[in-house]
Amino acid sequence: MKLLSPKTLLTHSLALALAAGGSIAFADSTAVTPDNAADKKSEQPVSDTWITTKVKAELAATDGVKSTDISVETTNGVVTLIGVQESKTAVDKAIAAARSIKGVKDVDASGLKTI
């Protein structure tokens, strides 16, 4: 087995470090930045699952609405709200929240009652 002299070992180590550092710097300078997807409009139709998720989130964020007492189903863009709320105001807020979501064609709140 051939042993390297300290000078040769140092030279090889330095060359390796410079090569590795140079490739990292090159990789950073040529990095491709992704497009900002939030700024683009999608041409794809909104799915019922997506609508249901967004309606549930909006209901949870709406003051005066007990979102845990409302079941949400979406079929072909029509949102069905089923459950019980403490007041007519809460029912109206829930309906407005559902209507505010992109892709909602109609809201059926016939199953949403007050106590």
Q: Are 65 and 97 in contact (CB under 8 A)?
A: yes
Average pLDDT over residues 95-99: 98
- Summarised one tens digit per residue, pLDDT across range 56-85 is 999 999 999 999 999 999 999 999 999 999
Closest CA to 53 of 90, 96, 91, 103: 103
CA distances from 40 to 14, 37, 57, 82, 86 (A): 47, 5, 22, 34, 40
SS3 at position 45: coil
Q: Which of 19-28, 39-48, 50-59, 82-91 has the lowest mean pLDDT?
A: 19-28
pTM: 0.63
Q: Which of 15-24, 31-40, 83-92 has the lowest mean pLDDT?
A: 31-40
Closest CA to 72 of 88, 47, 89, 48: 48
